[in-house]
Chains A and B, each alone.
Chain A
Amino acid sequence: MTAAVEFQNVSRHFGPANAPVKAVDGVDLTIAEGSFFAMLGPSGSGKTTCLRLISGFEKPTGGVIRIFGQDVSDIPPNRRNVNTVFQDYALFPHMNVRDNVAYGPMVKGVDRRTREAQAEEMLALVKLEGYGDRKPGQLSGGQRQRVALARALVNEPKVLLLDEPLGALDLKLREAMQDELKALQARLGITFVFVTHDQGEALSMADSLAVFNEGKIAQIGTPKEIYSHPRTRFVADFVGSSNVLAPEVTRAFGGPAKWASLRPEMLRVTAADGVALSGVVTGLRYLGAGSRVTVAVNGTEVAAQLPAGQAVPEAGAVVGLAFDPSALHVMEGER
């Protein structure tokens, strides 16, 4: 099977050659056809630039991009069968919802009756029947997001690019839209490339996931691989705020003298006596579904997540820490 999108050593540098801003720097990645691919990373790590390289709004300064096996160096955006759901939706304010959705077919010369029928069908798909006559200005954020989705999907793209499409929505709507998007993707079989800086979103939705850091891919793999086997300190910390242990601390925790990651939810807080590890509680944070306790062990702060209902120690108390040795994950990457 050909890859939907393939990057070979792709770079996009901005600014002068002697002091470039390396928005994307030597990225290799392969996105399988029909998969839900997420790009995760902190602000400014190059996610949007990567999407714009796929859609053609940016040209790589180095490397080759292939879409379904074809080198797209010389193909302008309007000829790539790739559509984008923009972060700000970019709906046309002077057209009503139906005309917005029918825009793609219109510029391809589909006659009015056919394209309006297509638009209505798409609006039904995103559960917006009857909204065709409204202007984008008369819709809520979530509705606009669906219109943007319908406007992209009506073109039956080979790849759909979504740039933080759920960023502006409240938690409840966000979760509902996550489920809908995932279901839609499974039903249509279109390759989705989804940008987010919400790690929960990326982990729960993606088939495979690339973690970006400063224009490079820090790790690429399935959500499970990335969560349980972060390759670098950056990934461990960024995905799930893991405890990153320096080599000497790892040894004190009973592992080899290497950098390691230990998930807060894998740590149990116990009574101080008779355990190998103990420390002083330095911080408490209430999270609703539980609490996060920070314990200073020999000068290293370690976070432990307690489920709701469990007794929470007081600040300053001396407590013990216990964990299953297999939860201690030793990282091969250096940074």
Chain B
Amino acid sequence: MTTQTPAILPERGLADRLTALFWRHPRLLLAVLLTPPLLWLGVVYLGSLAALLLQSFYSIDEFSGLVKQEFTLKTYAELFRAQNLDIIIRTLVMSAAVTIGCAVIAFPIAYYAARFAKGKWKAVFYLGVMLPLWSSYLVKVYAWKLILAKEGIITWAAEGAGLSMVLNAILSIPGIGGNSLSTSPLGTFLVFVYVWLPYMILPMQAALERVPASMLEASADLGASRAQTFRTVILPLAMPGVIAGSIFTFSLTMGDYIIPQIVGTSARFIGLAVYQLQGTAGNIPLAAAFAVVPIVIMVIYLMIAKRKGAFDAL
């Protein structure tokens, strides 16, 4: 091999010059890659969050209806008025219920997809989970209103199957029941679970995918039953995924202001309260204070999760 291949290849245009530049200054590439997202994150994202926080420490002048730009905790105190506290508790309970509902339904699906689905079935799984995300959220919610309505499919099917009694019994439970499914808290819950389910399934599936099969075999090998393996190996290892999914379902439910307007009693949730306060009522400070509540709740939730060791497997 004494042909004319040089030991050092000649530079070929701009691409090679850039490669050489980045090779000589490795940090430059990092800087180029990170500047736009950091600007976005720092200015637009955290900036607006800071503005929100700032607003929540202002108050509204009761006579003029104008925002008084003075630091005060008065607006936060208003959150604790019975009617506002009601909204917060209702939202919190609904978010928790939706999260648990999503987790219970999502787990078997995610487990199947991670452990057993191969090739074509994996594609079917992804399609099935994501397909609902392709259509408009509003259309889906209205579709559910029809499904849950008094003259809707569910009532009809229950009648056909002779289960009207059961349906009526459920609807007569105080707190979750109502005139019909579409005007009951149970209806709101069902629709929330439906629209946020993919956000629970996908992170769960990703987490379960990373649990090696040999881990489950080791557990069985050491004498554990299926239930024990689930509790002591699968669940702890999948926990970061469950927490990630629950962050989605929890915060999406807490912030949503459309579903409770369309399906359910007309009782207000935090999202709807924020929407009305900043719009018609023009009370930006109280709207901001309401908006801070989900953030605080999420922080507390994550702190508890961390203390309970949910992130040990990270």
Interface residues of chain A, those whose CB is within 8 Å of chain B, are 55, 57, 76-79, 82-84, 86, 88, 90-94, 103-104, 106-108, 151-152, 155
Chain B residues lying within 8 Å of A76, measured Cβ to Cβ, are 220
Closest to B233 in A: A92
In the complex, what distance in Å separates the CA atom of A92 from the CA atom of B224?
Answer: 13
Pairwise interchain contact B224-A78, C-beta atoms closer than 8 A: yes
Give which listed residue, B212, B219, B313, contacts A103 with CB less than 8 A: B219
Interface CB pairs A-B, < 8 A, 7 = A78-B224, A84-B217, A90-B214, A91-B218, A93-B313, A94-B309, A107-B223
Chain B residues lying within 8 Å of A155, measured Cβ to Cβ, are 222-223
Chain A residues lying within 8 Å of B220, measured Cβ to Cβ, are 57, 76-78
Pairwise interchain contact B222-A88, C-beta atoms closer than 8 A: no
Chain A residues lying within 8 Å of B233, measured Cβ to Cβ, are 92
Closest to A84 in B: B221
B window 207-246: CB within 8 A of A: 212, 214-215, 217-225, 228, 232-233, 236-237
B16 interface contact, C-beta 8 A: no
Chain A residues lying within 8 Å of B215, measured Cβ to Cβ, are 90, 92
Pairwise interchain contact A90-B225, C-beta atoms closer than 8 A: no
Chain B residues lying within 8 Å of A88, measured Cβ to Cβ, are 212, 214
In the complex, what distance in Å separates the CA atom of A286 from the CA atom of B9?
Answer: 38
Chain B residues lying within 8 Å of A151, measured Cβ to Cβ, are 222
Interface residues of chain B, those whose CB is within 8 Å of chain A, are 212, 214-215, 217-225, 228, 232-233, 236-237, 309, 312-313
A29 to chain B, nearest CB (A): 21
Pairwise interchain contact A107-B228, C-beta atoms closer than 8 A: yes
Pairwise interchain contact B212-A104, C-beta atoms closer than 8 A: no
Give which listed residue, A57, A93, A94, A104, contacts B222 with CB less than 8 A: A104
Give which listed residue, A92, A94, A108, contacts B218 with CB less than 8 A: A92
Closest CB pairs A-B (n = 5): A90-B218, A104-B222, A107-B224, A90-B214, A94-B313
- Give the number of A-B contacts (CB < 8 Å): 64
In the complex, what distance in Å separates the CA atom of A86 from the CA atom of B225?
Answer: 19
Q: A107-B223, A107-B225, A107-B232 are in contact. Are A57 and B313 (CB under 8 A)?
A: no
Give which listed residue, B214, B223, B224, B309, contacts A86 with CB less than 8 A: B214
A193 to chain B, nearest CB (A): 14
In the complex, what distance in Å separates the CA atom of A108 from the CA atom of B218?
Answer: 15
Q: A57-B217, A107-B232 are in contact. Are A90 and B223 (CB under 8 A)?
A: no
Chain B residues lying within 8 Å of A92, measured Cβ to Cβ, are 215, 218-219, 233
Chain B residues lying within 8 Å of A84, measured Cβ to Cβ, are 217-218, 221
Chain A residues lying within 8 Å of B232, measured Cβ to Cβ, are 103, 106-107
Query: Which of B219, B222, B228 has the largest count of A CB atoms less than 10 A from its CB?
Result: B222
Closest to A86 in B: B214
B219 to chain A, nearest CB (A): 7
Closest to A79 in B: B223
Chain B residues lying within 8 Å of A78, measured Cβ to Cβ, are 220-225
Q: A104-B222, A107-B224 are in contact. Are A77 and B217 (CB under 8 A)?
A: yes
Pairwise interchain contact A104-B223, C-beta atoms closer than 8 A: yes
Closest to B237 in A: A94
In the complex, what distance in Å separates the CA atom of A107 from the CA atom of B220?
Answer: 10
Given A82-B221, A103-B222, A155-B223, 9 more pairs with CB closer than 8 A: A84-B217, A90-B212, A91-B218, A92-B218, A93-B237, A94-B312, A94-B313, A106-B232, A107-B228
In the complex, what distance in Å separates the CA atom of A175 from the CA atom of B243?
Answer: 45
A54 to chain B, nearest CB (A): 11
In the complex, what distance in Å separates the CA atom of A106 from the CA atom of B232?
Answer: 10
Chain B residues lying within 8 Å of A79, measured Cβ to Cβ, are 223
Give which listed residue, B221, B236, B309, B313, contacts A77 with CB less than 8 A: B221
In the complex, what distance in Å separates the CA atom of A55 from the CA atom of B217?
Answer: 10
Chain A residues lying within 8 Å of B225, measured Cβ to Cβ, are 78, 107
In the complex, what distance in Å separates the CA atom of A305 from the CA atom of B96?
Answer: 75
Pairwise interchain contact B222-A107, C-beta atoms closer than 8 A: yes
B233 to chain A, nearest CB (A): 6
Chain A residues lying within 8 Å of B218, measured Cβ to Cβ, are 84, 86, 90-92
In the complex, what distance in Å separates the CA atom of A83 from the CA atom of B222?
Answer: 6
B223 to chain A, nearest CB (A): 5
In the complex, what distance in Å separates the CA atom of A103 from the CA atom of B215?
Answer: 12
Chain B residues lying within 8 Å of A83, measured Cβ to Cβ, are 221-222
Chain A residues lying within 8 Å of B221, measured Cβ to Cβ, are 55, 57, 77-78, 82-84, 152
Closest to B228 in A: A107
In the complex, what distance in Å separates the CA atom of A90 from the CA atom of B212?
Answer: 8
Pairwise interchain contact A108-B313, C-beta atoms closer than 8 A: no
Chain B residues lying within 8 Å of A90, measured Cβ to Cβ, are 212, 214-215, 217-218
In the complex, what distance in Å separates the CA atom of A94 from the CA atom of B207?
Answer: 14
B285 to chain A, nearest CB (A): 45
In the complex, what distance in Å separates the CA atom of A107 from the CA atom of B309?
Answer: 20
A11 to chain B, nearest CB (A): 21
Chain A residues lying within 8 Å of B228, measured Cβ to Cβ, are 107
Chain A residues lying within 8 Å of B313, measured Cβ to Cβ, are 93-94
Closest to A99 in B: B232
Closest to A88 in B: B214
Q: A77-B217, A86-B214 are in contact. Are A94 and B236 (CB under 8 A)?
A: yes
B240 to chain A, nearest CB (A): 10
B173 to chain A, nearest CB (A): 39
